[in-house]
Structure 1
Amino acid sequence: MTKTPFKYGALSAAIMAATSVSSFAQEGNDTQMLEEVVVTGIRQSLTNAMDIKRDASGVVDAISAEDIGKFPDSNLAESLQRVTGVSIDRSNNEGNQVTVRGFGPSFNLVTMNGRQMPNSNALASKGITRSFNFQEIAAESVSGVEVYKSGRATISSGGIGSTINIKTARPFDYEGFTAAGSIKGMMDQSNEEGDDITPEISAMVSTTFMDDIFGLLVSGSYSERDSQSQRVGTQAWVRNQGQVADSDGNVIPPDGNFWAPYTFDVDVSNHYRTRENAQVVFQFAPSDSVRATLDYVMSDYEENIDMNRTSYWFDNPVSQVDQNGTPVSIRNPNDELNFWAWDYHFLTENDSFGLNVEWDVTDNLSLSFDAHDSTSHSQPDGEQAETIANLKNPRLDTDNDPSTPPVGLVDIGADLNGTGLPTVIYDDSDLIAETGGGAYDKGSIVSDLFQKRGNEIENNIKQYEIGGQWDNAGDGALRTVHFGIESTEYNVDAYRTATFSFVNADLTDLDLNFYDRDNFGDDLGDTSGLFPYLTDYDAADFIDILDQQGDFFVNPPTINRIMEETTAAYVALDLETEFNDLPVTINAGLRYEDTDTEGTSVQNGFVDLYYRNTEELYVVPGETPSEQTLKGGYTRFLPNLDVKVDLSEDWVTRFSYSKTLARPDVSAMFPATQINVVRPNGPFNATQGNPGLLPYESENIDLSVEWYYGTGSYASMGYFKKYVSNFIGSTVEKREILDVNGEPLRDPSVDPRQGCPDASTDPLNESCLSQAGDPVVTWDVGTPGNLEDAEVSGWEINLQHMFGESGFGAIANATFVDGDVEYDISSFDQSLALTGLSDSANLIGFYEKDGLQIRLAYNWRDDFLLSTGQPQNGNEPTFTEAYGQLDLNASYDINDYVSIFLEGLNITEETTRRHGRYAEQLLSAEQYGSRYNIGIRAKF
């Protein structure tokens, strides 16, 4: 076998094929061009993706760009959800992260051009994961995506569900000068406060020069989106909180478990998002045997959200419940309404520098070197991601008895009607009688608290790989040997800030307004029973007032670091043989990995507990930080075997076995002890990470049959089974937490002293600090641990059909997933459940002829477990209900160079809903809206 220098991979070849194909005829010594056939578009990109799937030795799906700078969807995640077995979650109704075969974002590794990419997240409530955020990458800069569902020795480890490789363009992919660009306006139908039309601009220029020795590609994109989301829900459902009453309102002993919501909320959030992407690629080929590629990729993603919420908090509710213990009505006297304001500020900067050198040493041996240094930095400006303010109706001392706490003068409650929206109930007549103003009167509103919280995270990955390929030029089944060594340095520096304080502020200068909800929740159902008015003020204005009064402060951050070093080596063999005259292709490989981890936390210790408020025990921090370091490590061998048999010209069957792993989320490994918000009488919850966690491990089996019966048309059915071990779950240890002097923390609220609670903070009231006679607090300290094994299996069915030369085509696929890791809502001690496990399906119809392209795509995902909960809400689950979305894409080629297009997403304006243990336990009903892009695209 003679080796051709720099053979393009299947995906690169497909992309080039999608650009143009020329046909020539030889007549004597003259070369005459007969015709030039341009083969861009939906049909060709689907045919290219089909060819990649057919030629692969393992289980691989792919998406190819329809043309230069034109990916099938405006968001990578929204394109990936069209792939069989892939489903997505959404942030502000935009594709965010992916689930593959029921395994959520943390179980899937995302690479760019084969390189592991870092991730960072500023939102404290989401933790720190390794999950890639597809919102940060513009689809226009991507030429293709490969989804490896079976493991391969030559691919970096980290994905149990899949490894997803994003391909970006290179100048040597094109001949000579090539340019493409687009400009479009986005119209988000939900927008109320931002611009009605926001821009999206992208451009790419590529050229080769000096007889194709040098190549240069520059691309960039800029995008804005302004939108609004509206929500009704609660923060959590809590088991056995409050009391149970009969239909006459008499308190009765509960028969079994019952639940109550923490709050009922009505939110309006205005989102302002900006995304910038850029890429510079320089290639150098001084000879036919050497090629070097130097590239730089960057992205900046910024989102600002201002949110207002009207709500109330159930402190001690009395509930009438149904047979499942879920309230049908709730009453809570002597309380208040709450008026919240949130300012979210997210900023993430990503940079990646890479070098790749390929050298054909001989006709049979090639070597390569690849290195990259990539960083993701959230909140590089050091600003906390969340600023939170709360105002409320006052609590008053109506009985003139200083020994009793003040009470609220608003009676609150709610009536629930199954799976619909609640009817909010409040009676502020006592407040009017006492102060002359109702619940929404500015004179009856006082300050309550503020919070500043969030993560600044810098995630850096340095990766080096030396690889080689030897091609057998002789006889025998062995065709190719792949080998290599790899080193990965994975480092995370995280600065976590959490400040919480009740305050008394003069609200005279606060711009506080209320507006009615006439335009609220048009698609959420019957909203007539919600609060009549919604709050409107700025959290930053409230913080400014506190700062002027000298009451604003920010707690020192907790510093967490994870250092993870992995050394890997691999070898893989490609073989071609026959069995009963049937062609057989085999790939067999083995990957060795050795990983060392070290987790370090630097934090101020705990001095004492301070009884500051009837709803809060303040944890007094120490002034001197101390360092704690824990270590871990593991060694693994990861084999794979892929066998493909061509049963005929049209029929293919394949078998794959592989062992894969996924590493724990980073935030689960920090050794720091974190104390959550502490309330008198509990709960007393804290958390601590575990750097010694072992990775999830999975043994995977795939079987499939595929029928390629026409150009661009095929049908396939596949079965997969995964045996997963080392599932990570929450373990709870009851123990004491020591202060900086080595003494256990004590509770000063059990038998409060005179003058306590006391909101004074400078100085603290000594009587409200704990003393030697106060009871020692026993904490529930949640720590992640490797717990159980599980099995997951499923079927993938796919049909792609082109209706001859009519221009019409259709795709229908579905994935059915099952396993012994589903959440049992009747169990209260379940330690293992797989989030994201759900069935999914796609139905796509398209037409492409005479320059006109139209595609209508419907994506559906069944309900799934989003979260198993947190200790502060009793580890109650969150389920996302089934969701379907209809998208439209249409374009028309004015000529060979210019086209106009229209994109519509969520054109039926579907809403999303989440619930707790039972469907009647509404957690969140959210309304977004459709969005449309209209633009023009050009290529040269």
Structure 2
Amino acid sequence: MMGLSDFKARPLKTAFLLGVAAWPLSAIAQTAPSTTQADTPVAETDDPAASSEIVVTGFRRSLQLANEQKRNADVVSDGISAEDIGKFPDQNLAESLQRITGVQITRNRGEGSSVSIRGLAPDFARTQYNGRTLGSGGSRSFDFTTLSAEFVSAVEVAKSPTADMIEGGLAGTINVKTAHPLDIGKTSFNGTVEGVYEDNPKKLSPRVAGLANYVNASKTFGINVGVAYEQRKYLSLNYQGYGAETGTEGQRNPPVDYNRDGDFGDTYTFNHAQAYQAYPGTRKRLSIIGTVQYKPTDNVNVFADYFHSDFRDKNLWYENATRFTNIAPSLPGQPYGVTASTIDTGLVPQLVAGSQGFLTSMSATGLDHRASTFSQDSRKILNSYAGGFDVTDGDMKVSGQASYFKSTTRNLNNGFATISRGIGTITHPDGLGSPPKVTYGTGYDPIDPSTFYLLSQDFFGGRNSDRNYEGRLDAEYTVEGSFLKSLKAGLYYGDRQNTAVDTRSSANATTLARLSGGRLAFVPGFEGASGAVRATDILKPISFDTKIPNYPASYLVTDLAAYYAIIPYATVIGAVPPQDVSGTGYDVGERTMAAYAQAGFGSADGRLGGNLGIRYVSTQTVSNGLVPDLNGIIIEPGGVFTTVPTGVPTKVKGDYEYFLPSFNVKYELTDALLARGALARVVGRPGLGSLSAGTSVNANVRSINSGNPGLQPYLSDQADLSLEYYLPKQGLLSAAVFYKHLTNYIIDGQVTQTLTAQLRGGGTQTIVFRRNQPLNLSSADIKGAEVAAQIPLAYLGGTFDGLGVFGSFTYIDAPKVPQFQGGPNVPLNDVSKYNYNVGGYFEKYGIGLRGSYTYRSRFTGGDANYFGDGAFTPAYGQLDASASYQITPAMSLSADVTNLLDAVQQTKNNFGLTRIYSQIGRRITAGVHVRF
């Protein structure tokens, strides 16, 4: 943990945050109570006949609000707005954001989880909640699966910065906004009750939400409380190839003659493992918000708000796996080895140094066949508190905010290393771009539990804590009657700390036999000196209906009920309680002080406007970690789990400071046509985990990973230019071009390191590892263009009234850079060159229909994976649809379908070998929304 001497200016932090919190109290004390009404909100009507104005509702209302937000912004930006409380266009914020130009998303279990902006990885997108920092772990990116959309009034994506914006959003800043009580303007209640049906498991789960808002008669005080609960019972079906490993025959344990030439000196590339997987699971998300607002006069506004998220994901991980890398006798003297193989000598050598070819098919005796089962339980709890004020005195406005958030993630998983030594053949009948086919030889039944043995029960997991104190104070002076419109200045202080540690323990076969009281028979000498227990009574067959090619009709998994009837969970974990793993943890602290000055300007006719400013940022970091002696690592039988000896405590400090100028200008060429331009220098900080002083080891995939506390932030000098044409009836046409010059780009420094590992139970194994450490080694230029359109078809006449189309297209030109030191140039991570979405809607007579298709072209996850063989995600498109019906002004029905066409997601390596093939299925949500 951090000590008092680790950072400078701690007294300044305390005084600053106390000053921010206390400043408005004196202003309120000097302000006499007022009976003046707060600003009257725009009149609402649920009955179009009751007003002569045209009332825009539904999705069209959402587009209208977003267009107004875009037009009034001081920067190049886009956004999405809710038409009403509880009626955000999508149930997942990331799914909505993907319809914004320049935004791409990645999905987790079928839900949008992380957001990329303009071709940069999610870590470059800064996420804020009502203007303050929001985090969800050691990454700079935010996990949107933890945030319910029920209470969100708008999401703004600022693509160019101003000096008063908190730095760090090199790609852009996403600000999630919720409505304060006096913004809603009346005492009300909005509620939603829905069912969520998942197509793969064919199960229904609840989704409920409610927001109660109270405003007093004088509209000077308000309070609201919202609660949302959602459950998802999902089933993800996958094929996973663990990557193309290159190894020398003699370095296998025991040696394997892959080409059957009688020696063990050849080097080949092969798929480390092919695994068919199923993840049945349940996600539960509880979100709570609360806001108190006091506005005694038009000039004083004080507020405090709270946000809580509790997200839990529990699933089973069933895996049927075979491994090229581990061919051996189950007991001494039994036969093993390759009986036939096919080697492509032209596919790999030009891509992998030293390889003589790729094993495209193989038959073997003693083939490693796993019936693995893992129980996974992850829980993330986030709490965010804030208090702030706005005080206006004549031409002077002073505002401040102090906030705190803490995100805590805990996960504890346990797995069963259940293995059989089979007779099998692995082929690629549909080519490397499709999952392989595994068939079994005469005399071996893959679903006969009597051939399987349990080596160990392993517990593994970890903890991550991410917390941040933050405060800011801003003052703005409005200038009347001149080209200079305003002067603004402010201070900012942030104090963030991220800690993480892995935990692990293992109950070997000897321990399991003892705990079972002999009900699990011990087999000495199986898989080496550790032995095993027979798994005959603890396995069961399962089967799934899936479109994944070559997925097995059925396979064996651990029957948890049968197993825990023999050895209760509490008994086994009590015998081997999980312990912190030396060398894997880190403790990173980061403190930032910033000051800025900004001037706003504009012409007398209001057509020209903009701002010019500069921000000064000073950051100090302290990283604590453990550096272990890697000569003492221990690996389990089969090489799946790695134990690292206790490391030496290490502390490393760092600091940097920058001046960040920014310039934004907009000009109304006509009443409908607006041009914008922006220039800025922006920083993007490394991931907090990348600043770790520790080291982790994975003997199974032969990698060593170290952090680098000395990393400097990314820098971007960037320019934006856009045109926006605002049509009547909520229409919009827009186009933009952008350019970013990145320096200090971080890539992996990579070397090989040979270690002799101890085998648990006796013996040693020599392993060649790839050692990775992030370094500031590169630069890159990114440029692109965006176009978007929202066109109501009412222009074509009354027949088309209520119909509309919308869409956007983004082109990103990103360079190729090495992913590791000395490596070949490959495309920049997470960049899809082409991204588009297109959709249409109909809203009339209380009926609302909407469909949208989103697409992103191929992109890479980088070479810095298990074996450096690349990870490319092919082009992916997804169709979503929704329908609603307004029964009464106070009640509506809705239904949404996510992934209507049941699209599958894939990942491939450098030469087309399938790494991931995943089917999550359709998700249907339907229910009722009420308000009164």
TM-score range, shorter chain: 0.7 to 0.9
1:329 aligns with 2:354: no
Matched length: 839
Q: Which residue of 1 aligns with 2:879?
A: 886
Match of 2:69 in 1: 52
2:105 is equivalent to residue 88 of structure 1: yes
Question: Aligned pair in 2 of structure 1 residues 607, 173: CA closer, same or farther (>3 Å)?
Answer: same
The answer to whether structure 1 residue 841 and structure 2 residue 865 are counterparts is no
Q: Aligned with 1:172: secondary structure?
A: helix
Residues 312 and 412 in structure 1, CA contact (< 8 A), matched pair in contact too: no
1:555-566 → structure 2 map (5 Å cutoff)? 555-558=579-582, 559-566=585-592
Amino acid at match of 1:231: N
Q: Kindly tell me: are residues 304 and 550 of structure 1, through their superposed partners in 2, closer, same or farther at Cα, counting changes over 3 Å? A: closer
Within-5 A mapping of 1:801-840: 801-804=791-794, 806-821=801-816, 828-830=823-825, 833-840=828-835
Residues 413, 550 of structure 1: alpha-carbon distance in 2 compared, 3 angstrom cutoff: farther
Change in Cα spacing, 1:612 to 1:352, as seen in structure 2 (3 Å) is closer
The alpha-carbon deviation at position 301 of structure 1 amounts to 0.3
Query: Is the Cα contact below 8 Å between 1:583 and 1:645 reproduced in 2?
Result: yes
Measure the CA separation in 2 of the matches of 1:16 and 1:329: 70
Alignment partner, residue 426 of structure 2: 413
Change in 2 beyond 3 A, CA 1:285/1:427: closer
Shift of 1:440: 2.6
- Distance in structure 2 (CA, Å) of the matches to 1:496 and 1:912: 29
Among candidates 658, 666, 683, match of residue 644 of structure 1: 666
Contact 1:334 / 1:409 at 8 angstroms: preserved in 2? yes
Instruction: Identify the residue that residue 585 of structure 1 maps to in structure 2.
Output: 609
Partner of 1:230: 237
Q: TM-score, normalised by structure 2?
A: 0.84
Report if aligned partners of 1:111, 1:166 keep a CA contact under 8 Å in 2: yes
- Corresponding residue for 1:690? 708
Q: Residue 69 and residue 442 in structure 1: after superposition, are their counterparts in 2 closer, same or farther (change >3 A)?
A: same
Deviation at 1:412, TM superposition (A): 3.9
Change beyond 3 A, Cα 1:615–1:41: closer
| Letter aligned with residue 936 of structure 1 | V
Contact 1:385 1:454 in 2 (8 A): yes
Deviation sequence 1:621-660 (CA, Å, 0-9, x none): 34xx752100111001111111212111222222111111
Q: With the length of structure 1 as denominator, give the TM-score of the two structures.
A: 0.83
Q: Distance in 2 between matches of 1:726 and 1:832?
A: 17
Contact map agreement 1:792 1:821 (CA 8 A) in 2:
no
Give the secondary-structure state (helix, strand or coil) at the position aligned to 1:79.
helix
| Aligned-pair CA distance for 1:608 | 3.0
Alignment of 1:452-471 (within 5 A): 452-471=459-478
User: Is the aligned partner of 1:100 residue 2:131?
Assistant: no
Q: Which residue identity is paired with 1:206? A: N
Structure 1 residues 43 and 409: CA distance shift in structure 2, 3 A: closer
- What amino acid sits opposite 2:608 in the alignment? V
Task: Give the corresponding residue for 2:721.
Answer: 703
Partner of 2:744: 726
Cα distance in 1 for partners of 2:638, 2:270 equals 20
Structure 1 match to 2:916: 924
* 1:50 alignment partner, SS class: helix
The within-5 A match list for 1:274-289 is 274-289=284-299
CA separation of 1:696 and 1:831: change in aligned 2, threshold 3 A: farther
Deviations along 1:37-88, whole A, 9 cap, x unmatched? 5433211221221122222232110111021210000110101111111111
SS in 1 for 2:306: strand
Q: Please, which runs of 5 or more residues in structure 1 have no aligned partner?
A: 1-12, 25-32, 121-127, 394-407, 433-437, 737-745, 750-756
Output aligned runs, 1:458-857, within 5 Å: 458-473=465-480, 475-499=481-505, 503=509, 505-506=512-513, 508=519, 512-515=538-541, 517=543, 519-521=544-546, 523-524=547-548, 526-527=549-550, 530=552, 532-538=554-560, 541=564, 544=568, 548=572, 552-558=576-582, 559-577=585-603, 583-602=607-626, 608-609=632-633, 613=637, 615=639, 619=643, 621-622=645-646, 626-677=648-699, 683=702, 685-733=703-751, 747=756, 759-760=760-761, 768=763, 780-804=770-794, 806-821=801-816, 828-830=823-825, 833-857=828-852
How far apart, CA to CA, are the structure 1 residues paired with 2:831 and 2:458?
31
Does 2:931 match 1:939?
Answer: yes
Structure 2 partner of 1:68: 85
- Structure 1 window deviating more from structure 2 (608-617 vs 343-352): it is 608-617
1:802-836 Cα offsets, whole Å, 9 max, x none, are 112600011021111112136799x9544883334
- One-letter code of the match for 2:501? Y
Distance 1:419 1:619 in 2: 34
Say if 2:393 is the partner of 1:347.
no
Residue in 2 that maps onto 1:218: 225
Moved more, 42-51 or 415-424: 415-424
Q: Distance in 2 between matches of 1:636 and 1:299?
A: 35
Question: How far apart in 1 are the matches of 2:924 and 2:885?
Answer: 16
Give 2:437's aligned amino acid: V
Q: Quote the Cα distance in structure 1 between the aligned partners of 2:40 and 2:95.
A: 20
Could you report, residue by residue, the CA deviation over 1:268-288 in whole angstroms, capped at 9, with x for unpaired residues? 110101000111100112222
Verify the 8 A CA contact 2:506 2:576 in the aligned structure 1: no
Distance 1:851 1:258, change over 3 A: farther
Change (3 A) 1:616 1:345: closer
Q: Is 1:202 equivalent to 2:234 in the alignment?
A: no
| Residue matched to 1:902 | 895
- Structure 2 letter corresponding to 1:852: I
> CA, structure 1 residues 15+818, in 2 after alignment: closer, same or farther (shift >3 Å)?
farther
Q: Structure 1 residues 643-652 or 94-103, which shifts more?
A: 643-652
SS in 1 for 2:861: strand
Partner of 2:95: 78
- Does 2:858 correspond to 1:863? yes
SS of the equivalent of 2:580 reads coil
Q: Is the 8 A contact 2:127 2:135 kept in 1?
A: no
Paired residues of 1:336 and 1:411 also in contact (CA < 8 A)? no
- In 1, the alpha carbon distance for the partners of 2:440 and 2:839 equals 52
1:669 CA drift (Å): 1.0
Q: Does 1:262 align with 2:254?
A: no
**Paired residues for 1:302-381 under 5 Å:** 302-315=312-325, 318-321=341-344, 323-325=346-348, 326-360=358-392, 362-379=393-410
Percent sequence identity is 24
Q: Determine the C-alpha separation between the residues in 2 that align with 1:706 and 1:253.
A: 70
Distance 1:265 1:15 in 2: 62
Between the aligned partners of 1:847 and 1:549, the Cα distance in structure 2 is: 57
Going from structure 1 to structure 2, the CA distance change for 1:498 and 1:416 (only over 3 Å counts) comes to: farther
**Cross-structure match for 1:405:** none
The code of the aligned residue for 1:587 comes to N
State the distance in 2 between where 1:261 and 1:141 align: 46
Question: What root-mean-square deviation, in Å, do the aligned CA atoms of Structure 1 and Structure 2 show?
Answer: 3.5
Gaps of 5+ in 2: 1-37, 251-257, 327-337, 349-357, 521-534
**Superposition deviation, residue 187 in structure 1:** 0.8
Relative to structure 1, the CA distance from residue 76 to residue 836 in structure 2 (aligned partners, 3 Å threshold; closer, same or farther) is: same
Instruction: Report if the CA contact (8 A) 1:733-1:782 is conserved.
Output: yes
Show the counterpart of 2:525. none
Give, in whole Å, the separation in 2 of the partners of 1:546 and 1:241: 43
Residue 294 in structure 1 maps to residue 294 in structure 2:
no
Change (3 A) 1:294 1:582: closer
- 2:631/2:756 contact within 8 Å kept: no
